[in-house]
Chain A
Amino acid sequence: MSGETKSKNSGKLLTEGMLLNRMTNRIRQSLELHEILSATVGEVRSFLGTDRVKVYRFDRDGSGQVIAESIGQNRLPSLLGLHFPATDIPPHIREMFVKARVRSIVDVPAQRITFSHLDSLEANGDLTVEDIRQRPIEEILQRSVDPCHIEYLTAMGVNSSLVVPIFHGKELWGLLASHHAEPKVFSASDLHIVQMVADQVSVAIAHSRLLSSARSAARREALINQISTLLHTPLNIQQILQGVLEKIVAAIGGAGGRLYLNPMETSSGPELYTTGTLPKLSGESGESDWLEYHPFWQHLMLQATLPVQATDGWGEKPLERSPKEAAAPVRAIDDLYQQPRLAQVAFAFRHTPIRGMLVMPLRYSQQSLGCLTLFRSEIDTDILWAGRFDPDQRNAKVRQSFDAWREFKRGCAHPWTEEEIELVEGAGTHLSMAVMQNRLYQWEREHRLLVEMRNQELQAARAAADEASRLKSDFLSSTSHELRTPLASTLNYLKLLKEGFYDSEEEFKEYIHIAHQSAENLVAIINDVLDIAKIEAGRMSVSPERVLLAPLIEEQRRLFNLDSRRKGIPLTVECEVESVWADKVKLRQILTNLLSNAFKFTSAGAVRVRAVQRLGGEPAAPLPPVVDISVTDTGIGIDPSKTELLFEPFVQADGSIKRRYGGTGLGLTVCKRLVKLMGGEIWLESAGEGEGTTVTFTLPYRASPNDFDTLKAQGEISP
């Protein structure tokens, strides 16, 4: 090796070292990939001394874009920002870049391509692609250049090229390419350096990815913080949920969103919150119109409640997104018009710009809470292609011009990114927890209320039972007290008779009479008490039938004829009703009781029995007709405020009345209960003390079952 070569080599070595150092420093200094790449292409071009060095990045669909470029002396046109279709670098070439990690050096005039593989080729050793593996490696590395490629490069004005793949992990991220207008030979060390630069770029890409994922994590965290803050504000849950929904929609740049919550077990119905642009199933806004009732949503919500699933149950591949799927089966739809499951509802989106959709079933544990649906509008894209190309014509004719050609596409789907999906997942999870928390809180509160209500009911029931028990023992006590008086009287007079303590025949008869009267009074009380006890125990049965009223009242009139004549109080009868629906025996008992009271408490005037028919119910809402039977007297009357009391056992308006007028004190009590048993009502009216009394009771009028209708048809009943 000559000295000159040596110094040249050492100079070159120095340059190489400096280049790598600078590259490394740049990568360390900046986290912005764009800056690093711009610097890289500049450094590499000056190192290689070629006309153009560019970084070409592959897009998902295999097409790519020149994202960094350095051009020297304008010997080649700029390609920066231009896109190249996927067909320009066909899959087998990309595969070769991946599998063999080749760098190609094309000497266009010599029509020779050199693939110089790296050391990693053997180590990597995964030439799994069939057509590559089956061919001897030498053949791959030394095969001649595709004439088409030669033509392609020539059309670009390139006579020699050097291409080094850039990897991110195992994935082919892009290419570092050098173009030169003249044929150029690269030394092995040059290639080595460029390869090392490409490796540094890989590191930079990794850093950049980390950065952007850290940034999106930060963004996610910020959103979740905002949501958490909202969730803990003292607003009501409706306001909070609306706010959260709006925040999520804004965070992903959505067009609109819906938050549907299942009905709670205890609450009335489902809830829906909406914001922004929404599809419309029909003009109506009712619940039946809700998207969430469509099978697509129903299925997702149901699915969310099932344990981890392998497929989505439709025989389709779950989302391309893997392990988190089971945890939160967010369904990301880039283009809803391409989704067969949505074909039925697609029309609802026609009038909207919506094209993408993100659906996240909300759940807590295995319980489905509802569904968060976010919409995203289609976008118009604007791509600068390197030359107008026609995929069908491409193979026939190589593009002769690489002048920028602007492609403008309307209505493109705007694909959801991993970051966005994760963002929604995070937010949705928080939302689920908040909703669940609120539900648990509400459930707990309702439950507590329910328990309180039940306690109150129990207390009321206990109070009622206590009251009933008290009334019963009061009744027993009163009864025993009331029985003692006639009993004492009977015993007294019997004793007087037994001891012979009478001075005359007259006195003897009087004593017998009083004893007998007292004993009868005792029996009357006992009978009434037994009646009440029977009714209370539910053992008093009534057998209602059609009872002709006039004969029954006439019978009563005869019964009270003696009282009427003795006291000089006429008994008048006005019976305008033919029949009532009643138990004849009970009705007789009631009438006897009321008439006996009337004569008992009247010293002058008249007693009148009246029976009239009227419509039941309110005038506006008539019920079947009833019969009012009233007994009116001109007797002692009663303070109107005390009328209700009279139906209580052993109560008379004035305690002294009983002594003066006798009676069991149970008559009205028995009447009230009997009337009730026959489906009627009873009440007492009086204008006041000394103003007389009217007791009225109602009974159903039912001569025959169809009477009501018949009478109505005949127009005999008018409200």
Chain B
Amino acid sequence: MTEVPPWTVTAARRRLASGDLSAVELTQLMLDRMQDTEPLVHAYAYIASELALEAARLADRRRAAGQDLPLLGIPLAVKDNMETFDAPTEVGSRVMRGYQPSRDATVVERIRAAGAVILGKTVTHEFAYGLDTPPTRNPWRLDCFPGASSAGSAVAVAAGSALAALGTDTAGSVRTPAALNGVTGLKPTYGRVSRAGVFPASPSLDHVGFLTRSVEDCAVLLEVTAGTDPRDPSCLADVLADLDPDRVPDLRGVRVAMERSYFFDYAEVQPGVREAADTAIAQLAELGAEVIEISIPELDLMSAVGSIINLADNSAWHRRLMRDRRSDYDPATRRMLTLGAMIPATAYANAHKARRVLAQAVRQAFEAHRLDALVGPTVPGVAHSLLTTLPLVPTPRLSPLVHHNYPGNLTGLPVLSIPCGFADGLPVGLAIMGRPLAERQIMRIGRAFQRSTDWHNRRPPLQGKSGMTE
């Protein structure tokens, strides 16, 4: 068995538990790594060095006193659209400059209660919505797009300056940066994880998710954070199934499908991405999964429905701030918010009706074909160069990216993105979408793939001050 690399949460938990490593040593290692990598990748909006070391010292004392918590001493990063009582929450915007919340978002409370050490707040696009380009860069190629909007979280994990990170996903904002940075990303079922204390974008599309180095690590974070929350009435009361997939080492009895016309066979899908995804799916078949091709024509409406709901919801939330702080918004965000304010109410109402039709079509496909998952490339291309100036375009044209990701947000189904190869030297992600509340099953698929491949163990060739290379 391949030795578990030292950068996963799971491996670090073992080393901390055995006494090989202290929380202070591990946290200092992350902070040292940050010093090397931040000048290159700019993953963090705020680094909480002293608070992190203090939390690490507390974790060591607690472990010495016999306490054991799921994330005791584990250094994590938090996307800067989640409130933290001890660090600013500026959401990538001048509008929120200096904002210091009085309490944590529920998801942050839960990881703290589990013993996590919070390293800092990661960069996000303005309000996790804007089309501006933050300074964050892809560690695989520093002139390349890091994805959005959980870019900082994905890059911190990819660059090794956090063992895992929290993110949010409204139209792919966990999965897209996961795929483009070669890390694992999970968007759980809608309502699994509380959104209380997280700046909203589009409330019925928003999900809290995770960026990690492995499927196992996603399972750890989901177990710690899932569950009802009186602060968020949309949270599901459904109990999380045991996520330990190790009991079932292969994929015999698993049935997955590809919807080629929507996810594979259109112009924007790069040949290298298609090839990597096809190869990965062939690997799933080697592991025992039954793979079929199906057609869900209703998917063609996903981007239209998603864009109407997303645009209108965001504009509604920002209405007062746009009235009072208009000039503090980035022009790209301001334009999107103005556009959303001009969407007819009838279009919004019909979009929510159409959404039910789409969700039902996906359900019918899963049931008729007895599927465990729908699989395909997470996004149609690899990270593009930022040296090429892209014109600002309104959604959905922006998005070959959201084209792949809106189905997961509109249906609320859980989606896992795992590294599955490279194209032109840049990472490619495979998305695995499951039935409602079936995180266990999609993690079983992802875990089996990661046992038999090493794409998720690859490191970007960053050369930092300490000379650390991977």
Whether chain B is bound by chain A comes out as no
Q: Which residues of A contact B (CB under 8 A)?
A: none
Question: Which residues of B pack against A, CB within 8 Å?
Answer: none
